[in-house]
Structure 1
Amino acid sequence: MNTDAGRLLAGRTALVTGGSRGIGAATARALGRAGASVAVNYLRNEQAARDVVRDIEQENAKAVAVQGDVCDPDAAAELVWQATELLGDIDILVCNAIGGGPVFRGTALDSGFEIQSRVDGQLRATLNVCRLVGAAMRQRRGGSIVFVGSSESRSGAPEVADIAVAKAAQDALMRVLAAELGPDGVRVNTVAPGLVPTDGSAPTRRLPAVAAIEAVTPLRRIAQAEDVADAIVALSSDLCRHITGAHLPVDGGQIMH
Protein backbone atom coordinates (compact mmCIF):
# COMPACT_ATOMS: atom_id res chain seq x y z
CA MET A 1 0.00 0.00 0.00
CA ASN A 2 1.26 3.45 -0.84
CA THR A 3 1.85 5.90 1.97
CA ASP A 4 1.73 9.69 1.91
CA ALA A 5 5.18 10.78 0.80
CA GLY A 6 4.54 14.26 2.17
CA ARG A 7 5.77 16.01 -1.00
CA LEU A 8 9.19 14.63 -0.21
CA LEU A 9 10.50 15.53 -3.67
CA ALA A 10 8.86 18.92 -4.16
CA GLY A 11 10.83 21.15 -6.51
CA ARG A 12 12.68 18.29 -8.18
CA THR A 13 12.45 16.89 -11.69
CA ALA A 14 12.56 13.19 -12.50
CA LEU A 15 12.94 11.17 -15.69
CA VAL A 16 11.68 7.58 -15.70
CA THR A 17 12.72 5.44 -18.65
CA GLY A 18 10.18 2.81 -19.64
CA GLY A 19 7.68 4.78 -17.57
CA SER A 20 4.41 3.94 -19.31
CA ARG A 21 3.72 0.50 -17.83
CA GLY A 22 4.44 -1.79 -14.91
CA ILE A 23 7.09 -0.75 -12.40
CA GLY A 24 7.99 2.30 -14.48
CA ALA A 25 4.42 3.63 -14.43
CA ALA A 26 4.03 2.96 -10.71
CA THR A 27 7.33 4.75 -10.10
CA ALA A 28 6.35 7.78 -12.18
CA ARG A 29 3.08 8.07 -10.27
CA ALA A 30 4.83 7.69 -6.90
CA LEU A 31 7.38 10.37 -7.77
CA GLY A 32 4.53 12.68 -8.76
CA ARG A 33 2.72 12.03 -5.47
CA ALA A 34 5.96 12.94 -3.70
CA GLY A 35 5.91 16.32 -5.45
CA ALA A 36 8.37 15.81 -8.30
CA SER A 37 7.79 16.92 -11.87
CA VAL A 38 8.03 13.75 -13.96
CA ALA A 39 9.05 13.01 -17.55
CA VAL A 40 7.49 9.68 -18.53
CA ASN A 41 9.53 8.00 -21.25
CA TYR A 42 7.87 5.48 -23.55
CA LEU A 43 8.82 3.59 -26.67
CA ARG A 44 5.55 2.79 -28.49
CA ASN A 45 2.51 3.05 -26.22
CA GLU A 46 1.79 6.78 -26.26
CA GLN A 47 -1.68 6.38 -24.76
CA ALA A 48 -0.35 4.46 -21.76
CA ALA A 49 2.23 7.19 -21.15
CA ARG A 50 -0.41 9.90 -21.41
CA ASP A 51 -2.56 8.02 -18.91
CA VAL A 52 0.33 8.08 -16.44
CA VAL A 53 0.84 11.80 -17.11
CA ARG A 54 -2.85 12.43 -16.42
CA ASP A 55 -2.66 10.55 -13.12
CA ILE A 56 0.37 12.59 -12.03
CA GLU A 57 -1.29 15.86 -12.98
CA GLN A 58 -4.29 14.87 -10.87
CA GLU A 59 -1.85 14.86 -7.92
CA ASN A 60 -1.09 18.53 -8.69
CA ALA A 61 2.34 17.72 -10.08
CA LYS A 62 3.76 18.46 -13.52
CA ALA A 63 4.31 15.65 -16.00
CA VAL A 64 5.09 15.14 -19.68
CA ALA A 65 5.38 12.12 -21.95
CA VAL A 66 8.63 11.84 -23.94
CA GLN A 67 8.98 9.23 -26.66
CA GLY A 68 12.28 7.59 -27.50
CA ASP A 69 14.26 4.36 -27.65
CA VAL A 70 16.86 4.62 -24.88
CA CYS A 71 18.91 1.91 -26.61
CA ASP A 72 19.57 4.38 -29.43
CA PRO A 73 22.08 7.12 -28.49
CA ASP A 74 20.50 9.77 -30.69
CA ALA A 75 16.97 9.00 -29.50
CA ALA A 76 18.16 9.02 -25.90
CA ALA A 77 19.76 12.43 -26.38
CA GLU A 78 16.56 13.77 -27.93
CA LEU A 79 14.28 12.55 -25.14
CA VAL A 80 16.59 13.89 -22.43
CA TRP A 81 16.65 17.24 -24.24
CA GLN A 82 12.85 17.27 -24.47
CA ALA A 83 12.44 16.41 -20.78
CA THR A 84 14.88 19.15 -19.77
CA GLU A 85 13.30 21.75 -22.04
CA LEU A 86 9.80 21.00 -20.77
CA LEU A 87 10.46 20.46 -17.05
CA GLY A 88 13.96 21.74 -16.23
CA ASP A 89 17.19 20.11 -15.12
CA ILE A 90 16.81 16.45 -14.17
CA ASP A 91 17.49 15.80 -10.48
CA ILE A 92 16.33 12.16 -10.41
CA LEU A 93 16.90 9.53 -13.07
CA VAL A 94 15.19 6.15 -12.83
CA CYS A 95 16.61 3.65 -15.32
CA ASN A 96 13.77 1.17 -15.67
CA ALA A 97 13.79 0.41 -19.41
CA ILE A 98 15.22 -2.90 -20.53
CA GLY A 99 16.62 -3.67 -23.97
CA GLY A 100 17.33 -6.84 -25.85
CA GLY A 101 13.93 -8.03 -27.02
CA PRO A 102 11.45 -10.41 -25.37
CA VAL A 103 12.51 -12.24 -22.22
CA PHE A 104 13.98 -15.64 -23.09
CA ARG A 105 12.82 -18.47 -20.83
CA GLY A 106 15.77 -20.79 -21.05
CA THR A 107 18.93 -21.90 -19.29
CA ALA A 108 22.37 -20.36 -19.80
CA LEU A 109 23.70 -23.18 -21.94
CA ASP A 110 20.66 -22.94 -24.20
CA SER A 111 20.68 -19.17 -24.58
CA GLY A 112 24.14 -17.85 -25.37
CA PHE A 113 22.93 -15.46 -28.07
CA GLU A 114 19.96 -14.31 -26.01
CA ILE A 115 22.17 -13.58 -23.01
CA GLN A 116 24.60 -11.53 -25.09
CA SER A 117 21.73 -9.61 -26.68
CA ARG A 118 20.12 -8.94 -23.32
CA VAL A 119 23.35 -7.73 -21.70
CA ASP A 120 24.08 -5.47 -24.65
CA GLY A 121 20.55 -4.06 -24.68
CA GLN A 122 20.40 -3.54 -20.93
CA LEU A 123 23.71 -1.70 -20.79
CA ARG A 124 22.84 0.49 -23.76
CA ALA A 125 19.41 1.30 -22.29
CA THR A 126 21.08 2.35 -19.05
CA LEU A 127 24.32 3.97 -20.20
CA ASN A 128 22.90 6.07 -23.03
CA VAL A 129 20.78 8.04 -20.58
CA CYS A 130 23.26 8.00 -17.69
CA ARG A 131 25.96 9.56 -19.86
CA LEU A 132 23.76 12.57 -20.55
CA VAL A 133 21.96 13.03 -17.27
CA GLY A 134 24.93 12.02 -15.12
CA ALA A 135 27.18 14.58 -16.80
CA ALA A 136 24.66 17.35 -16.11
CA MET A 137 24.21 16.22 -12.50
CA ARG A 138 27.97 16.24 -12.05
CA GLN A 139 28.16 19.85 -13.24
CA ARG A 140 25.43 20.84 -10.77
CA ARG A 141 27.11 18.70 -8.09
CA GLY A 142 24.07 16.71 -7.07
CA GLY A 143 21.46 14.20 -8.15
CA SER A 144 20.13 10.69 -7.70
CA ILE A 145 20.21 7.83 -10.18
CA VAL A 146 18.28 4.64 -9.40
CA PHE A 147 18.55 1.49 -11.48
CA VAL A 148 15.68 -1.00 -11.50
CA GLY A 149 17.48 -4.30 -11.21
CA SER A 150 16.32 -7.77 -10.28
CA SER A 151 16.86 -10.13 -7.39
CA GLU A 152 17.62 -12.73 -10.09
CA SER A 153 21.04 -11.10 -10.53
CA ARG A 154 22.03 -12.68 -7.21
CA SER A 155 19.79 -15.75 -7.10
CA GLY A 156 21.31 -17.51 -10.10
CA ALA A 157 17.92 -18.73 -11.36
CA PRO A 158 18.72 -20.68 -14.57
CA GLU A 159 15.22 -20.32 -16.02
CA VAL A 160 15.74 -16.56 -16.53
CA ALA A 161 19.42 -16.65 -17.38
CA ASP A 162 19.33 -13.67 -19.74
CA ILE A 163 17.73 -11.38 -17.15
CA ALA A 164 19.99 -12.64 -14.35
CA VAL A 165 23.20 -11.98 -16.28
CA ALA A 166 22.07 -8.66 -17.77
CA LYS A 167 20.96 -7.29 -14.41
CA ALA A 168 24.22 -8.48 -12.83
CA ALA A 169 26.08 -6.46 -15.46
CA GLN A 170 23.91 -3.46 -14.59
CA ASP A 171 24.70 -4.00 -10.89
CA ALA A 172 28.40 -3.76 -11.69
CA LEU A 173 27.78 -0.57 -13.67
CA MET A 174 25.90 0.89 -10.71
CA ARG A 175 28.86 0.34 -8.39
CA VAL A 176 31.31 1.84 -10.89
CA LEU A 177 29.14 4.92 -11.42
CA ALA A 178 28.56 5.33 -7.68
CA ALA A 179 32.33 5.51 -7.17
CA GLU A 180 32.85 7.75 -10.19
CA LEU A 181 30.08 10.26 -9.50
CA GLY A 182 30.13 10.23 -5.71
CA PRO A 183 32.78 12.96 -5.34
CA ASP A 184 30.45 15.26 -7.28
CA GLY A 185 27.49 14.59 -4.99
CA VAL A 186 25.66 12.24 -7.36
CA ARG A 187 24.26 9.07 -5.79
CA VAL A 188 23.71 5.84 -7.75
CA ASN A 189 21.77 2.89 -6.32
CA THR A 190 19.84 -0.19 -7.44
CA VAL A 191 16.40 -1.35 -6.35
CA ALA A 192 16.11 -5.09 -7.05
CA PRO A 193 12.59 -6.53 -7.04
CA GLY A 194 11.75 -10.20 -7.18
CA LEU A 195 8.73 -11.40 -9.13
CA VAL A 196 6.34 -8.47 -9.64
CA PRO A 197 2.92 -8.88 -11.32
CA THR A 198 3.10 -6.66 -14.41
CA ASP A 199 2.26 -7.04 -18.09
CA GLY A 200 5.80 -8.24 -18.72
CA SER A 201 5.63 -10.98 -16.09
CA ALA A 202 2.14 -12.22 -17.05
CA PRO A 203 3.32 -15.64 -18.30
CA THR A 204 5.23 -16.23 -15.08
CA ARG A 205 2.32 -15.15 -12.89
CA ARG A 206 0.12 -17.84 -14.38
CA LEU A 207 2.39 -20.55 -13.07
CA PRO A 208 1.38 -22.43 -9.89
CA ALA A 209 4.92 -21.66 -8.69
CA VAL A 210 3.73 -18.22 -7.51
CA ALA A 211 2.05 -19.79 -4.46
CA ALA A 212 5.21 -21.73 -3.71
CA ILE A 213 7.31 -18.54 -3.93
CA GLU A 214 4.99 -16.76 -1.53
CA ALA A 215 5.09 -19.69 0.89
CA VAL A 216 8.87 -19.35 1.31
CA THR A 217 8.94 -15.54 1.30
CA PRO A 218 9.26 -14.20 4.85
CA LEU A 219 6.62 -11.52 4.23
CA ARG A 220 4.42 -14.17 2.57
CA ARG A 221 3.61 -12.27 -0.62
CA ILE A 222 5.32 -11.30 -3.83
CA ALA A 223 6.11 -7.63 -4.37
CA GLN A 224 3.72 -5.27 -6.09
CA ALA A 225 4.85 -2.52 -8.44
CA GLU A 226 3.96 0.05 -5.78
CA ASP A 227 6.35 -1.59 -3.30
CA VAL A 228 9.20 -1.06 -5.72
CA ALA A 229 8.08 2.46 -6.58
CA ASP A 230 8.00 3.56 -2.93
CA ALA A 231 11.53 2.23 -2.39
CA ILE A 232 12.69 4.26 -5.39
CA VAL A 233 11.07 7.41 -3.98
CA ALA A 234 12.87 6.87 -0.68
CA LEU A 235 16.26 6.33 -2.36
CA SER A 236 15.71 9.42 -4.50
CA SER A 237 15.01 11.61 -1.48
CA ASP A 238 17.18 13.29 1.13
CA LEU A 239 16.13 10.59 3.60
CA CYS A 240 18.79 8.46 1.86
CA ARG A 241 21.23 11.31 1.21
CA HIS A 242 24.24 9.30 2.44
CA ILE A 243 23.44 6.07 0.59
CA THR A 244 25.17 5.27 -2.68
CA GLY A 245 26.35 2.06 -4.32
CA ALA A 246 23.57 0.12 -2.58
CA HIS A 247 21.73 -2.91 -3.94
CA LEU A 248 18.33 -2.92 -2.23
CA PRO A 249 16.23 -6.08 -2.66
CA VAL A 250 12.47 -5.44 -2.67
CA ASP A 251 11.36 -9.05 -2.56
CA GLY A 252 9.84 -9.62 0.88
CA GLY A 253 13.03 -11.24 2.11
CA GLN A 254 13.37 -13.92 -0.57
CA ILE A 255 17.06 -13.20 -0.97
CA MET A 256 18.84 -11.95 2.11
CA HIS A 257 22.36 -10.57 1.86
Structure 2
Amino acid sequence: MKSIAAAGAALAFVWAASASAQHVSDAEPITIGEALTVMTHDADRKLNVVLPRGYEQAEERFPLVLVLDGGIGQDFFLSLGVERWNQLWGRSEPAILIGVETVDRQRELLPPTQVDEERERYPSAGESEAFRTWLTETVLPILRARYRHDGRAMIVGESAAGHFVVETWLAQPDLFDGYAALSPSLQWNDSALAGAAPADDGTPRPPLFLSLADEGGATETGVMELRETLGARFCFADYRASHVHHSNSLHQLLPQALQYLLPTEADWLGEYGLTVECEMREADAE
Protein backbone atom coordinates (compact mmCIF):
# COMPACT_ATOMS: atom_id res chain seq x y z
CA MET A 1 0.00 0.00 0.00
CA LYS A 2 2.82 2.36 0.84
CA SER A 3 4.37 1.77 -2.58
CA ILE A 4 1.06 2.57 -4.32
CA ALA A 5 0.66 5.76 -2.32
CA ALA A 6 4.22 6.78 -3.10
CA ALA A 7 3.66 6.14 -6.82
CA GLY A 8 0.49 8.24 -6.76
CA ALA A 9 2.27 11.10 -5.03
CA ALA A 10 5.06 10.97 -7.60
CA LEU A 11 2.59 11.11 -10.50
CA ALA A 12 0.81 14.06 -8.91
CA PHE A 13 4.11 15.86 -8.56
CA VAL A 14 5.00 15.23 -12.20
CA TRP A 15 1.56 16.45 -13.37
CA ALA A 16 1.81 19.62 -11.25
CA ALA A 17 5.30 20.35 -12.54
CA SER A 18 4.17 19.81 -16.13
CA ALA A 19 1.16 22.07 -15.69
CA SER A 20 3.23 24.84 -14.17
CA ALA A 21 5.63 24.65 -17.10
CA GLN A 22 2.86 25.26 -19.67
CA HIS A 23 3.00 28.66 -21.32
CA VAL A 24 -0.13 30.76 -20.80
CA SER A 25 -0.52 33.84 -22.94
CA ASP A 26 -1.51 37.14 -21.43
CA ALA A 27 -5.19 37.34 -20.58
CA GLU A 28 -7.32 39.21 -23.09
CA PRO A 29 -10.59 41.00 -22.36
CA ILE A 30 -13.77 39.55 -23.83
CA THR A 31 -15.58 42.35 -25.64
CA ILE A 32 -19.17 41.66 -26.58
CA GLY A 33 -20.58 45.10 -27.27
CA GLU A 34 -20.74 48.67 -26.09
CA ALA A 35 -22.74 50.70 -23.59
CA LEU A 36 -24.26 54.10 -24.30
CA THR A 37 -25.31 56.33 -21.39
CA VAL A 38 -28.55 58.28 -21.73
CA MET A 39 -30.56 60.09 -19.05
CA THR A 40 -34.26 59.92 -18.34
CA HIS A 41 -36.44 60.13 -15.24
CA ASP A 42 -33.64 61.97 -13.41
CA ALA A 43 -31.14 59.12 -13.75
CA ASP A 44 -28.48 57.85 -16.11
CA ARG A 45 -29.08 54.44 -17.59
CA LYS A 46 -27.21 52.26 -20.03
CA LEU A 47 -28.16 51.08 -23.47
CA ASN A 48 -26.17 47.84 -23.77
CA VAL A 49 -25.71 47.13 -27.47
CA VAL A 50 -24.43 43.93 -29.08
CA LEU A 51 -24.06 43.67 -32.85
CA PRO A 52 -24.68 40.42 -34.74
CA ARG A 53 -21.77 38.31 -35.95
CA GLY A 54 -20.30 39.57 -39.19
CA TYR A 55 -21.69 43.08 -38.76
CA GLU A 56 -18.31 44.73 -39.36
CA GLN A 57 -17.44 42.56 -42.36
CA ALA A 58 -20.62 43.08 -44.38
CA GLU A 59 -23.08 45.74 -45.42
CA GLU A 60 -26.19 43.83 -44.37
CA ARG A 61 -28.78 45.68 -42.31
CA PHE A 62 -30.41 44.24 -39.22
CA PRO A 63 -33.53 44.75 -37.09
CA LEU A 64 -33.29 46.37 -33.66
CA VAL A 65 -34.50 44.36 -30.67
CA LEU A 66 -34.99 46.40 -27.50
CA VAL A 67 -35.09 44.34 -24.31
CA LEU A 68 -36.52 46.22 -21.33
CA ASP A 69 -34.88 45.68 -17.93
CA GLY A 70 -31.74 45.12 -19.98
CA GLY A 71 -29.11 46.34 -17.54
CA ILE A 72 -25.93 44.39 -16.80
CA GLY A 73 -27.42 43.39 -13.44
CA GLN A 74 -30.83 42.70 -14.97
CA ASP A 75 -31.86 40.57 -17.98
CA PHE A 76 -29.16 41.62 -20.44
CA PHE A 77 -26.90 38.56 -20.39
CA LEU A 78 -29.78 36.10 -20.33
CA SER A 79 -31.46 37.80 -23.30
CA LEU A 80 -28.20 38.01 -25.22
CA GLY A 81 -27.48 34.33 -24.64
CA VAL A 82 -30.93 33.34 -25.84
CA GLU A 83 -30.70 35.53 -28.92
CA ARG A 84 -27.28 34.12 -29.85
CA TRP A 85 -28.49 30.56 -29.21
CA ASN A 86 -31.43 31.20 -31.56
CA GLN A 87 -28.97 32.34 -34.20
CA LEU A 88 -26.93 29.14 -33.83
CA TRP A 89 -30.01 27.12 -34.71
CA GLY A 90 -31.29 29.52 -37.35
CA ARG A 91 -34.34 29.97 -35.13
CA SER A 92 -34.65 33.74 -35.47
CA GLU A 93 -33.07 36.38 -37.66
CA PRO A 94 -29.82 37.96 -36.50
CA ALA A 95 -30.51 41.29 -34.84
CA ILE A 96 -28.92 44.21 -33.07
CA LEU A 97 -29.74 43.53 -29.43
CA ILE A 98 -30.19 46.51 -27.13
CA GLY A 99 -30.62 46.01 -23.40
CA VAL A 100 -32.45 49.06 -22.04
CA GLU A 101 -31.57 49.49 -18.39
CA THR A 102 -34.32 50.50 -15.98
CA VAL A 103 -33.67 52.17 -12.63
CA ASP A 104 -37.08 52.51 -10.96
CA ARG A 105 -39.08 49.87 -12.82
CA GLN A 106 -42.53 50.73 -11.50
CA ARG A 107 -42.01 54.43 -12.17
CA GLU A 108 -40.74 53.88 -15.69
CA LEU A 109 -42.79 50.93 -16.89
CA LEU A 110 -46.24 51.27 -15.32
CA PRO A 111 -49.03 53.83 -15.72
CA PRO A 112 -50.74 55.49 -12.73
CA THR A 113 -52.86 53.30 -10.48
CA GLN A 114 -56.02 53.98 -8.52
CA VAL A 115 -55.43 51.00 -6.21
CA ASP A 116 -54.42 52.25 -2.75
CA GLU A 117 -52.27 49.22 -1.94
CA GLU A 118 -50.26 49.66 -5.15
CA ARG A 119 -49.86 53.38 -4.50
CA GLU A 120 -48.51 52.69 -1.03
CA ARG A 121 -46.13 49.97 -2.18
CA TYR A 122 -44.90 51.82 -5.29
CA PRO A 123 -45.33 55.55 -4.60
CA SER A 124 -43.17 56.56 -7.59
CA ALA A 125 -45.08 54.44 -10.13
CA GLY A 126 -46.99 55.90 -13.03
CA GLU A 127 -44.67 57.46 -15.65
CA SER A 128 -44.80 54.86 -18.41
CA GLU A 129 -46.00 57.43 -20.95
CA ALA A 130 -42.92 59.57 -20.36
CA PHE A 131 -40.67 56.51 -20.62
CA ARG A 132 -42.33 55.53 -23.90
CA THR A 133 -41.74 59.02 -25.26
CA TRP A 134 -38.09 58.78 -24.23
CA LEU A 135 -37.72 55.44 -25.98
CA THR A 136 -39.24 56.59 -29.25
CA GLU A 137 -38.02 60.19 -29.40
CA THR A 138 -34.55 59.79 -27.90
CA VAL A 139 -33.40 56.16 -27.83
CA LEU A 140 -34.59 54.97 -31.24
CA PRO A 141 -33.14 57.99 -33.10
CA ILE A 142 -29.78 57.43 -31.36
CA LEU A 143 -29.76 53.76 -32.34
CA ARG A 144 -30.87 54.38 -35.91
CA ALA A 145 -28.23 57.04 -36.43
CA ARG A 146 -25.43 54.93 -34.95
CA TYR A 147 -26.10 51.40 -36.27
CA ARG A 148 -26.84 49.82 -39.64
CA HIS A 149 -30.47 48.85 -39.16
CA ASP A 150 -33.10 47.69 -41.63
CA GLY A 151 -35.86 49.99 -40.39
CA ARG A 152 -37.54 47.48 -38.06
CA ALA A 153 -37.60 47.77 -34.27
CA MET A 154 -38.97 45.15 -31.85
CA ILE A 155 -39.61 45.54 -28.12
CA VAL A 156 -39.55 42.78 -25.50
CA GLY A 157 -40.55 42.92 -21.85
CA GLU A 158 -41.44 40.60 -18.96
CA SER A 159 -43.65 41.22 -15.90
CA ALA A 160 -43.98 45.00 -15.38
CA ALA A 161 -42.07 45.48 -18.64
CA GLY A 162 -44.61 43.14 -20.25
CA HIS A 163 -47.39 45.47 -19.10
CA PHE A 164 -45.47 48.33 -20.76
CA VAL A 165 -45.25 46.33 -23.99
CA VAL A 166 -49.00 45.60 -24.03
CA GLU A 167 -49.83 49.21 -23.14
CA THR A 168 -47.69 50.45 -26.02
CA TRP A 169 -49.19 47.91 -28.45
CA LEU A 170 -52.70 49.07 -27.52
CA ALA A 171 -52.06 52.82 -27.30
CA GLN A 172 -49.48 53.46 -30.03
CA PRO A 173 -48.97 50.24 -32.01
CA ASP A 174 -47.06 51.93 -34.83
CA LEU A 175 -44.13 52.83 -32.57
CA PHE A 176 -42.62 49.36 -33.04
CA ASP A 177 -42.79 46.63 -35.66
CA GLY A 178 -43.13 43.74 -33.23
CA TYR A 179 -43.97 43.20 -29.58
CA ALA A 180 -43.35 40.46 -27.01
CA ALA A 181 -45.01 40.60 -23.57
CA LEU A 182 -43.96 37.68 -21.36
CA SER A 183 -46.11 37.14 -18.25
CA PRO A 184 -47.25 40.79 -18.27
CA SER A 185 -48.43 42.20 -14.93
CA LEU A 186 -51.94 42.93 -16.16
CA GLN A 187 -53.29 42.87 -12.61
CA TRP A 188 -51.93 46.42 -12.26
CA ASN A 189 -54.53 49.08 -11.48
CA ASP A 190 -57.28 46.48 -11.12
CA SER A 191 -56.61 45.16 -14.65
CA ALA A 192 -57.55 48.53 -16.12
CA LEU A 193 -55.42 48.00 -19.22
CA ALA A 194 -57.26 44.84 -20.19
CA GLY A 195 -60.62 46.42 -19.39
CA ALA A 196 -59.93 49.38 -21.66
CA ALA A 197 -58.68 47.32 -24.61
CA PRO A 198 -60.67 47.88 -27.80
CA ALA A 199 -62.65 45.02 -29.30
CA ASP A 200 -61.31 43.33 -32.41
CA ASP A 201 -62.42 45.44 -35.35
CA GLY A 202 -60.04 43.88 -37.84
CA THR A 203 -57.63 46.82 -37.86
CA PRO A 204 -54.11 45.51 -38.61
CA ARG A 205 -51.61 45.72 -35.78
CA PRO A 206 -47.94 44.72 -35.51
CA PRO A 207 -47.29 41.16 -34.32
CA LEU A 208 -47.65 40.59 -30.56
CA PHE A 209 -46.35 37.53 -28.69
CA LEU A 210 -48.25 37.33 -25.40
CA SER A 211 -47.59 34.59 -22.85
CA LEU A 212 -49.18 33.50 -19.59
CA ALA A 213 -47.51 31.19 -17.08
CA ASP A 214 -48.88 29.91 -13.77
CA GLU A 215 -49.40 33.34 -12.22
CA GLY A 216 -53.04 32.75 -11.37
CA GLY A 217 -55.13 35.34 -9.56
CA ALA A 218 -55.63 38.82 -10.94
CA THR A 219 -52.68 38.51 -13.33
CA GLU A 220 -54.30 35.56 -15.09
CA THR A 221 -57.70 37.26 -15.03
CA GLY A 222 -56.26 40.37 -16.68
CA VAL A 223 -54.47 38.44 -19.42
CA MET A 224 -57.49 36.27 -20.17
CA GLU A 225 -59.77 39.32 -20.28
CA LEU A 226 -57.44 40.87 -22.83
CA ARG A 227 -57.37 37.59 -24.76
CA GLU A 228 -61.16 37.45 -24.85
CA THR A 229 -61.57 41.06 -25.93
CA LEU A 230 -59.01 40.96 -28.70
CA GLY A 231 -59.81 37.50 -30.00
CA ALA A 232 -57.04 36.10 -32.20
CA ARG A 233 -55.26 39.33 -33.02
CA PHE A 234 -52.03 38.14 -31.48
CA CYS A 235 -49.95 35.04 -30.75
CA PHE A 236 -51.10 33.78 -27.35
CA ALA A 237 -48.82 31.26 -25.59
CA ASP A 238 -50.83 29.68 -22.78
CA TYR A 239 -48.49 27.94 -20.31
CA ARG A 240 -50.71 27.91 -17.24
CA ALA A 241 -50.61 24.12 -16.97
CA SER A 242 -46.89 23.66 -17.55
CA HIS A 243 -43.46 24.02 -16.00
CA VAL A 244 -43.35 27.72 -16.89
CA HIS A 245 -43.60 30.06 -13.91
CA HIS A 246 -43.55 33.83 -13.61
CA SER A 247 -39.97 33.55 -12.37
CA ASN A 248 -38.69 31.67 -15.43
CA SER A 249 -40.99 32.80 -18.25
CA LEU A 250 -38.24 34.92 -19.80
CA HIS A 251 -35.84 31.96 -19.75
CA GLN A 252 -38.41 29.58 -21.21
CA LEU A 253 -40.30 31.67 -23.73
CA LEU A 254 -37.96 34.34 -25.08
CA PRO A 255 -36.65 31.88 -27.72
CA GLN A 256 -40.20 31.45 -29.03
CA ALA A 257 -40.93 35.16 -28.88
CA LEU A 258 -37.90 35.99 -31.02
CA GLN A 259 -38.75 33.17 -33.41
CA TYR A 260 -42.27 34.54 -33.83
CA LEU A 261 -41.18 38.14 -34.33
CA LEU A 262 -38.13 37.38 -36.50
CA PRO A 263 -38.88 34.10 -38.28
CA THR A 264 -36.43 32.39 -40.61
CA GLU A 265 -36.85 29.94 -43.47
CA ALA A 266 -35.10 27.13 -41.56
CA ASP A 267 -36.97 23.89 -42.32
CA TRP A 268 -35.41 21.75 -39.57
CA LEU A 269 -36.72 23.56 -36.49
CA GLY A 270 -39.76 21.36 -35.97
CA GLU A 271 -37.60 18.25 -36.06
CA TYR A 272 -35.78 19.49 -32.96
CA GLY A 273 -38.83 20.84 -31.17
CA LEU A 274 -37.93 24.46 -31.87
CA THR A 275 -41.44 25.66 -32.61
CA VAL A 276 -43.72 28.54 -31.66
CA GLU A 277 -46.47 27.05 -29.52
CA CYS A 278 -49.27 29.56 -29.39
CA GLU A 279 -52.75 30.24 -30.66
CA MET A 280 -52.73 32.63 -33.58
CA ARG A 281 -54.84 33.62 -36.51
CA GLU A 282 -54.45 31.70 -39.73
CA ALA A 283 -52.75 34.61 -41.49
CA ASP A 284 -49.96 34.51 -38.90
CA ALA A 285 -49.61 30.75 -39.07
CA GLU A 286 -49.07 30.61 -42.81
TM-score exceeds 0.5: no
Q: Which has the higher contact order (CA 8 A, sep 6+)?
A: 1
Q: TM-score range by the shorter chain?
A: 0.3 to 0.5
TM-score of the superposed pair, with normalisation by structure 2: 0.38
